Structure 1
Amino acid sequence: MSARTKARKRALDILFQADVRGDEVATILAAEAQRAANEPAREASWLYAREIVDGIIDNQGEIDEQITTFAKDWPLSRMPAVDRALLRIATWEILYNDEVPTAVAIDEAVELAKEFSTDESGAFVNGVLARIARSS
């Protein structure tokens, strides 16, 4: 598993925790940063996870607007928390990270949705992200 794949999982965990607990993402991110300082072997995945989460924090309004626009009749509040987090991660990568090819961002999100969310989540995430990618 690549460092970026591991980083996406870490970012997913941070976003999911904040969502489920009702905490600020920045609070969970700070706790994870403290933990990461004690795990130098995982530094490569931590750096990209932090970049993802910081990017989502900085651009959440635009990211959520894109998701809401292209999720056709699915408001963010109705989506499973895992799907919502994965859509935010991949949308950030598509819109704000030129180093990640769009197809890779979508594929990684779909695979994580299949692994961690509902049976229908892979197709849902793929459809929303494909529409976002076509519009950008």
Structure 2
Amino acid sequence: MSARTKARKRALDMLYAADLREVPVERVLADEAERAAGEPERQASWLYAREIVDGVIDHRAEIDELITSHSRGWTLERMPAIDRAVLRIAVWEIVHNDEVPDGVAISEAVEAVTVLSTDDSAGFVNGLLSAVAGDRS
């Protein structure tokens, strides 16, 4: 597993935990930063995970608007929490991180929901993210 894939998983864990526990993402990020300080072997994944989470925090309104405007018949609140977190990460990568090709962001997101979410999530996430990426072209 690549360092970026590990970082996405780490960012996903933080966003998902904050959502489920109904606490600010910043608090979960601070807790994870303390933990990361004691794990120098995981430094590479921590740096990108933090960049992702900071990016989602900084652009949350825009990201959520893009998700909402491209979802058909689904509000953010109705989506599984894991799907919301995966979508927020992937939309941030598509819109705000030029180092990650759109196809990679989409593929990683689809893989995550295939493993972690409902049977219908992969198609939903793929379609929504493809629409977001298509709008940027």
Which TM-score tier does this pair reach, normalised by the shorter chain?
A: over 0.9
Q: What residue is the counterpart of 2:59 in the other structure?
A: 59
1:79 Cα offset (Å): 0.2
The answer to whether the aligner puts 1:4 opposite 2:4 as a matched pair is: yes
CA distance in 2, matches of 1:124, 1:97: 22
Post-superposition CA distance 1:44-84 (Å, at most 9, x none): 00000000000000000000000000011110000000000
1:78-117 matches, cutoff 5 A: 78-117=78-117
Aligned-residue CA RMSD (Å): 0.4
CA distance in 2, matches of 1:125, 1:40: 33
Extract unaligned runs of 5+ from structure 2: none
Q: What residue is the counterpart of 1:22 in the other structure?
A: 22
1:120 Cα offset (Å): 1.0
CA distance in 1, matches of 2:119, 2:38: 36
CA distance in 2, matches of 1:66, 1:34: 32
The letter for the 2-side match of 1:46 is W
Post-superposition CA distance 1:82-104 (Å, at most 9, x none): 00000000000000000000000
Number of aligned positions between the proteins:
136
SS in 2 for 1:66: helix
Extract unaligned runs of 5+ from structure 1: none
- Mean Cα deviation higher: 112-121 or 79-88: 112-121
